[in-house]
A and B are shown apart, each in its own frame.
Chain A
């Protein structure tokens, strides 16, 4: 019988396989929804950030106890922990917040390039796994096993590449997904700061990728890769490039301030401008250590840090932060204050940024007084600065997850977020302060390189890093607790928001379902709605006057 013929009496419906709903794991892995990707980024970054901070604590104690705990060299342990806390914790947590919130803030039902964003998440997770394996097998950064060190080099490249992919998605969302009426001058401050940060991350991160490429092409052995790290890659966590971690924090602090004060940021354009200035001066590839492979040397050789340009370059961001602090304080001073975790995190994270600026200023002072007036250890100051900026990034990001907790998880858990923010601030701030005080004490001859002094220093360092770790642990528990509590009653949604993310349900429906955007005529469209017809930029102009 030919296949085209139909048997008489067989006119029945063909069997259709029953539709199956994808399971939660399938949804997680196969999703291009920015809500799922953003949440996964944030939770994973909190876990890895916490583990890296723990590694930093152990590395500190280990260095003072002749490496009996971790083995290997102090250089290996310290730098691996430092790279891990930035590339597996601070940076991805900020990117996760951007992936989740930026589309909501600019009134878009989805993120640009959702598949690229999903690819970035999974590539980053694989990179983290490879990096961990590399460290365990005596690689990581500065390990002695050449194969494992090469694996670590590759993992750094993969993590940076993945994070840059997600950054491109977030930036493109800000630029091309805005509704009519939302000019760049009306973009919420967090989204604006992510756009600025994205430019800097792409430029600084690509320079790191160049270092990774060179390490791979040269087929360098373990010591060659350690040299390559010192000259090409570590610039990312030295001044001024390390400022780049704090750019989104400035935006988070601005959005928190406006909502806590329930009023517009006066001189909004100036605030945007100051964030942009801070971003421009976070470009730091030019200050990378000079490469000295031909001469055979691989010691840290911070030539650029001994110039006047460096001094100016690292001080200007401090002026921008002070300006923003002034603007935010001016917004808050006429309002009735309510102490929340996010409200605390804003000023605290800006103070941590200023701590980082102080460390950079001391490096600049060292520039002018080298060998005559002052003899600071520039490398130690750079470490202190890195710790300040990493702490600022985490403090801002943890405060941000508390601030937008209702949108992120369906519930906010301010009671747990407050101690978390306080511990991250105290732990991170004291770690940075310890670095500065220790450097000055050594320069003044109060502290020496003796075993007993080093031991005390290492133990104090470990305790403070443990405090910081505990803060991140509480933030993780808080986030998981809020996420597992289920969806809040829609009637209890926070109605006091000023920007578009507060117009969607808590948490937002997946894939942008039921998403509508109000007409935008100022940076605060929901405030305009509440204030009536004479609002928008007209109102903000009057307020500024």
Chain B
């Protein structure tokens, strides 16, 4: 990157070359930090309330562990496919990138489907004392996963348009950061809400 000369405000000096930018990666990381903090604070409040509720907490509801564990496994598999997409785009393997993003989206949609099934099984109403916190925690996370899927669709369109490649893989990396955080947060929810009950 050669430097050139320029004059600004009456002075002449060498201009610095601009580096390769990674603004999508950083922007996604900062936004993900905020979303993660929101969920973590909700989980913390859930735990405080659950401790205060004692033996009476969710006493009238049945939440089997099998279903949430299957959801964790589903999201766990999606981590592998998401990383597959990141690996493929950085090697200009477009076919595998499409396939990896597609499978990740499929697993994400499966997770949403599983969550709605779990909601019906648990039968927790918003009026009962546990309701607001339960739905704030799990619903907040569900919204995060849904937003990540929308982001993934946009990135997929851009991959199809050829905007991302090994020279500029930032978009795929950016959505991967959000997705990994979503999976890690679900692991936290799985333990705090479903295992601890």
Partner-B contacts on A (CB < 8 A) = 107, 112-113, 116, 164, 167-169, 171-173, 175-182, 198-199, 202-203, 205-207, 209-211, 213-214, 217-219, 232, 285, 290-295, 490, 493, 495, 502-505, 514-520, 529
Contacts and interface: CB of A to CB of B under 8 A. Distances in A.
Given A176-B25, A203-B33, A529-B13, 20 more contacts: A112-B23, A168-B31, A168-B34, A172-B26, A172-B30, A176-B23, A178-B19, A180-B17, A182-B16, A205-B34, A206-B37, A207-B41, A210-B45, A285-B41, A291-B45, A294-B52, A490-B9, A495-B9, A517-B18, A518-B8
23 contacts: A172-B23, A176-B21, A176-B22, A180-B18, A180-B19, A182-B16, A203-B33, A203-B37, A205-B34, A211-B41, A214-B42, A214-B132, A217-B139, A232-B45, A285-B41, A293-B49, A294-B53, A490-B9, A516-B8, A518-B15, A519-B3, A519-B14, A519-B16
Nearest to B20: A176
From B27, B33, B49, name the one whose CB has the most chain A CB atoms within 10 angstroms: B27
A176 B26 contact: yes
A512 to B, nearest CB: 12
A104 to B, nearest CB: 12
B48 interface: yes
B136 A217 contact: yes
B49 A294 contact: yes
A503 B8 contact: yes
A199 B26 CA distance: 12
B53 A213 contact: no
Interface residues of B, number: 45
Contacts of A209: 34, 38
Interface of B: prevailing SS = helix
A180 B17 CA distance: 6
Given A214-B136, A291-B48, A295-B52, A206 B27 contact: no
A180 B136 contact: no
- 5 tightest Cβ-Cβ pairs between the two chains A and B: A206-B37, A218-B132, A516-B6, A179-B16, A210-B41
A520 B16 contact: yes
Nearest to A506: B9
B65 to A, nearest CB: 24
Contacts of B35: 206
B1 to A, nearest CB: 7
Contacts of B126: 217-219
B76 interface: no
Contacts of A529: 11, 13
A183 to B, nearest CB: 11
Nearest to B43: A210
B140 interface: yes
Nearest to B17: A180
B190 interface: no
Contacts of B140: 213
A502 B19 contact: no
Contacts of A210: 37-39, 41-42, 45, 136
Contact of A198 (B30, B36, B53): B30
Contacts of B129: 294
B180 interface: no
Contacts of A213: 38, 42, 136, 140
Given A206-B37, A517-B15, A518-B14, A291 B49 contact: yes
Contact of B132 (A172, A217, A517): A217
A175 to B, nearest CB: 5
A199 B48 CA distance: 26
Given A495-B9, A503-B11, A214 B26 contact: no
A107 B16 CA distance: 9
Nearest to B53: A294
A182 B3 CA distance: 15
